[in-house]
Amino acid sequence: MTADERVPLTPQAPEGLSRRARYFVEGHGLRVPRQDLTPLREAWLDRGIPAAEIDRAAAYQMRWGGIALPPAPAYEGGPRVLEAGMPEGSACEGWRFPAGDSRVSMAHGFMIGPGGEFGIDADRWTPLHASTEGWVEALALADHASYWARTITKIKGGAVEDLDLDGFEPVPEVQGLADTWWRGKDSFIAIYRGEASGFDAPQCLRAHIYGGLDAWGLGGH
């Protein structure tokens, strides 16, 4: 970036997000300068990284790079800034690339998987959401639910497995894999299985229950 270029502080939400998520990105996010990956291309090719994987990282960088969002309610807040890094992997195990640096020192990193999944690279690769859009939708929903809920209950470990989800429906926009959101008649339940699965540590299982929501609290799209 040249000295004359200006980076707007307010990011423009990528297309394809819900109204709630667009408002979250543009109302609560910040835009910072993003790295141009073009000068790194030849060096990455020399390392044996396939051109298609470099293109995937570059596409992520163009869509999400430089967007800083408020902390997530789990995973010590998630990436500080969404930012692509050098792809790693192989044809056998699939290729992944970093999604952005952690806010604090963590035993896992945030990665984008072979199919575009957003997940954590713990003891094993654990996709949290089917896409970065799903991760951002989950952040936006957590922000929305925490504002409108009359009560917020946090539980962990085996108590999460005892949750009764009868009458709840999955929230599709979060594209949940290890992490899922469930909508009931007056509440949301967010279940965070990523660290429990990624480290084979059932005690790391977490759930947040947002209760006392009205129709707007349950919608707000």
| pLDDT tens profile 108-164 | 999 999 999 999 999 999 999 999 999 999 999 999 999 999 999 999 999 999 999
pLDDT at 219: 82
Q: b/e per residue, 200-215, with b = 16+ CB within 10 A?
A: eeeebbbbbbbbebee
Q: Structure tokens of 103?
A: 């806010």
State the pLDDT at residue 116.
Answer: 98
Q: Specify which residues 183 forms β-bridges with.
A: 169, 188
Cβ count within 10 A of residue 109: 17
Spatial CA neighbour of 98 closest among 80, 84, 78 = 84
- The rounded radius of gyration (Å) of the Cα atoms in the chain is 18
pLDDT of 8: 72
Joined together, the tokens standing for residue 139 give 């952040």
Distance CA 128, CA 174 (A): 10
- Rounded Cα gap, residues 93 and 154, in angstroms: 35
- pLDDT for 9 equals 83
Question: DSSP string covering 32-89, please?
Answer: ------GGGHHHHHHTT--HHHHHHHHHHHHHHTTEE-PPPSSGGGSBSSB-----EE
Place of tokens 């480290």: 199
Name residue 169's beta-bridge partners.
183
Question: Sign of the CA dihedral 76, 68, 117, 103?
Answer: negative
- Mean pLDDT, the chain, rounded, equals 94
Identify which of 120, 22, 119 has the alpha carbon closest to the alpha carbon of residue 67.
22
**Which H helix or E strand runs over 199?**
none
**What tokens does 61 get?**
């960088």
Successive 10-residue mean pLDDT values, the chain, 221 residues: 58 94 96 94 97 98 97 96 96 94 93 98 96 98 97 97 96 98 97 97 97 89 60
At 101, the amino acid letter reads D
